[in-house]
Amino acid sequence: MAWTVPGLLAVVLVAALLTAMARGYALRRQLLDQPGERRSHAVATPRGGGIAIVVSQLLAYIGVGVLFPQAAATLAIFSAGLVMVAGIGWWDDHRPLPALPRLGVHVLAGLLLGALVWHWTGEASSAGFSVLLAIALINVWNFMDGIDGLAATQALLASVAYALLLPAPVAGLALILAAGVLGFLPFNFPKARIFMGDVGSGALGYLLAGLVALGLGTRSAPWTILLVPLAAFLVDAGLTLAGRVFRGERWMEAHTQHLYQRWVKSGCSHVMVTSGYALFGVAGIVLMHVFTWLPSPWSHLAALAWAAAAAGLWSVLLNKVHR
């Protein structure tokens, strides 16, 4: 335990230093997200700061692998998937790519995670779920990374939730992610001086899928409960996407139809919207731990009820901003 606190502080500092360096690099290379009709920000802002989170995690995994050699192979395979997702995102931040090559890389990274889960559990269903979840979360975090601090704070809260749920020492991996996001966050909230870019948003989705996979592998909770900390993003992204598909819109195109985007367009500040999502996330953390004490099938039903409540709240709030 003695190495944990200084180690986590080192991750925070490394992430903060690398974010500052990434901002300088983006300014020199003119990697800027410009304001526009399909954007939620008013000034040109550097992008690509999420590379700092990625590198902080990879360096931390090297340290963990040295301290726990039995985990080194698993961390190496997971890191390969992380590098793939972050790498295609970094490329896209510099030179936008078509959706198909990006999706192909996401699928390959998801398959790596699924192979790890299959190795841990021997369950094809858990492995398949992990593959689909990784692909989904990579893209969900990309869709939802549109205002100051939103994607980072949700990732921070979710990683804290998994740190509280997972057994030691694997809970340390969740804390490492929380530390990396914490180092980046002051540059992104309450006023963004840099955006994380596709390199960061996709990587966060993959990293969170990895924590859910750890929950499955350690039998910490059923999959329904493991998704509770992700409910805000899954509901907003999922229902918005379903609506666009139903209306026959080109759902892969950039848009401002998510609830958080409509809130901002209605006049709410980025701080207010991000804080609202954060309050929902904190409630999810509390309820997740309550649900773990319930016997099956009540734990599943409680988690599904929370998802239904989130969908209902989404619908109510969306109707309000439409008025």
Q: What is the tens place of the pLDDT at every residue in 218-248?
A: 999 999 999 999 999 999 999 999 988 888 8
**According to the model, what pLDDT value does residue 35 have?**
80
pLDDT band at 38 (very low <50, low <70, confident <90, very high): low
**Burial category of 66 from C-beta neighbours within 10 Å (exposed 0-12, middle 13-18, buried 19 and up):** exposed
pLDDT for 140 = 97
For residue 32 the two structure tokens come to 């800027």
The pLDDT value given to residue 154: 98
Residue-range domain boundaries for the chain: 4-322
Question: Does pLDDT of 1 surpass 50?
Answer: no
Q: Is the pLDDT of residue 115 over 50?
A: yes
Measured between its terminal Cα atoms, the distance across the chain in Å is 53
Beta-ladder partners of 46: 32
Mean pLDDT of 10-33: 96
| Predicted pLDDT of residue 255 | 79
CA dihedral sign, ordered 192, 82, 144, 27: positive
Residue 2 pLDDT > 70, yes or no?
no
- Does residue 15 have a pLDDT over 50? yes
Average pLDDT over residues 287-308: 94
How far, rounded to the nearest angstrom, does the alpha carbon of residue 313 sit from its chain's CA centroid?
A: 21
Cα separation, 138 vs 204, whole angstroms: 7
Strand 45-46 vs strand 32-33: parallel, antiparallel, or unpaired? antiparallel
Buried b (16+ CB within 10 A) or exposed e, 183-214: bbbebbbeebebbbbbbbbbbbbbbbbbbbbb
Q: What pLDDT does residue 144 have?
A: 95
The CA distance from 70 to 83, in Å, is 21
Burial of 1 (0-12, 13-18, 19+ CB in 10 A): exposed
The continuous run of DSSP H or E covering 79 comes out as helix 72-94
Q: What is the mean pLDDT of residues 62-68?
A: 93
Grade residue 37 by pLDDT with cuts at 50, 70 and 90: low
Q: What's the sign of the alpha-carbon dihedral 169, 171, 172, 173?
A: positive
Q: Are 203 and 50 in contact (CB under 8 A)?
A: yes
Please report the pLDDT score of residue 3 as a whole number. Answer: 54
